[in-house]
Amino acid sequence: MNYQQTLLFLYNKLPMYQRIGAAAYKADLKNTELLCQIAGHPYLQYPSIHIAGTNGKGSVSNIIASVLQTMGLKTGLYTSPHLKDFRERIRVNGKVIEKQYVVSFVNKYKKYIEEIKPSFFEITFVMAIEYFASQKIDIAIIETGMGGRLDSTNVITPILSIITNVSYDHTQFLGDTLEKIAAEKAGIIKKNIPVIVGESNFLTDYVFINKAQNNNSKLIFADKNFSVKILNNNYLENNIVSYSAYKGNKLLLNKINCPLSGIYQSKNIVTILAAIEELRNLGYNISDIALLQGIENVKKNTGFLGRWEVISKKPLIIFDIAHNPSGIELIVKQLNLINKRKLHMVMGVVQDKDIETILNLLPKDAFYYFCKADVPRALDAKILHNRAKEKGLNGKFYDTVKQAFETARLNANLDDVIFVGGSAFVVAEIL
């Protein structure tokens, strides 16, 4: 098989959650453990950092990877989903996995794939850890797909676990309360391995405290130790935001320049500061210069896209893959801070999200261009339009994402704002 044939095999043969949803979800580690055994447990050949959380784990994963690259470590990065190219999921020092390696790996494991019938995510994860071993990396950053306890990535024992936050998403799998969701994410906490929780919450803190105590694991709540202040006022209309960073009342860093300019990134920066401190405690000699340069160059170093991405100033066009209520809520807060004549919202969602809550959060004064991404999970644009209309949202529906976006561009004046989001798949089709 060539590369395109190999991709078709993976997409068609293996259930892919990003495309079909619940039918692809495997609520145990058996397949992954078996495949890892066949592969010779390649994750044992290098240290790893394991990152879970409802929101922010992609930003935290990419920034930490960028910092480690900057200090000279050969760094593997495993994330999901991809936006444009399957190979975005697996990178070493920012470079995507080679097409030939993907082909060779699938040919090598084709027999086992057909026998074991793993999910798309399970086989992709095993591909990543084997590739990292072949590249003789110094360290890997491993992002969970969903939850933590039963996520395929949870076969590893990292040197550091990070849980960015807990909010409502994937409730049909992870539970319908924050406590239940937290318990699933706390599943990545391992015996004697330090864990950082980015955002404390009185409803869920005890879950992490109990889990950490039971595992004799050092627990750090990042936001109880670190804080940041935004220094520039026009960051929402530019792809840069500057912070000063503090530990308690002590100034740590005077100016952190971050090209991920959504206001929610302040929470991620706090999590990263705690992670870097703990990595230093573990013996990693990470200088302040490497930290600052790693944050500032994250896009260049890792190819990270889709987080408050400003692609035009006149009109102001912003892409963001926020797709659950907590993420959408922050996006709306950001949009409300921008001086604008009119807001145009190009929106599409997938069927298994909390659509009622999302629609309730969206601004009533915007005009909406509802669309359906080209994946089976996506909600029909007409259905989305009708449900939005019931909530007092004004707009039209379109056959394709591109048609919705192009219509918004035609309708927008130079001082208007166009926002594109609701789903990573919507962003991916026009980014």
Rounded mean pLDDT of 140-147? 91
Q: Is a pLDDT exceeding 90 seen at residue 20?
A: no
Both 49 and 141 in a single domain?
yes
Both 323 and 293 in a single domain?
no
Query: Could you tell me if 26 and 122 are in contact, meaning their C-beta atoms sit under 8 angstroms apart?
Result: yes
380, 413, 421, 411: which is closest to 398 by C-alpha? 380
Residue 192 has a CB neighbour count (10 Å cut-off) of 9
Q: Tell me: the pLDDT tens digits for 358-389?
A: 999 999 999 999 999 988 889 999 999 999 99
Please tell me the predicted confidence (pLDDT) of residue 351.
85
- H-type alpha helices, 49-137: 57-70, 99-116, 120-134
Both 168 and 282 in a single domain?
yes
**pLDDT band per the 50, 70, 90 thresholds, residue 210:** very high
Provide the residue range defining the domain that includes 330.
313-430
Rounded mean pLDDT of 150-171? 86
Which of residues 271, 302, 333 is at a domain's end?
302
Q: Tell me: the pLDDT tens digits for 99-140?
A: 999 999 999 999 999 999 898 899 999 999 999 999 999 999
Both 123 and 203 in a single domain?
yes
The enclosing domain of 22 has a CATH number of 3.40.1190.10
82, 87, 79: which is closest to 6 by C-alpha? 87
Domain count, the chain: 2
**Pair of tokens at residue 381:** 């644009």
- Between CA 149 and CA 263 the distance in angstroms is 29
Who wins on pLDDT, 231 or 195? 195
Whether pTM exceeds 0.85: yes
Q: Tell me: the pLDDT tens digits for 295-338?
A: 999 999 999 988 888 889 899 999 999 878 888 998 999 899 88
Both 271 and 409 in a single domain?
no
Which of residues 274, 302, 330 is at a domain's end?
302
Please tell me the predicted confidence (pLDDT) of residue 22.
46
Both 221 and 347 in a single domain?
no
265-415-267 Cα angle (round to 5)? 5
**pLDDT band per the 50, 70, 90 thresholds, residue 178:** confident
Q: Tell me: the pLDDT tens digits for 339-360?
A: 888 999 999 998 877 899 999 9
Percent of the chain at pLDDT exceeding 90: 73
Who wins on pLDDT, 11 or 15? 11
User: What average pLDDT is seen over the chain?
Assistant: 91
Q: Does residue 145 form part of some domain?
A: yes
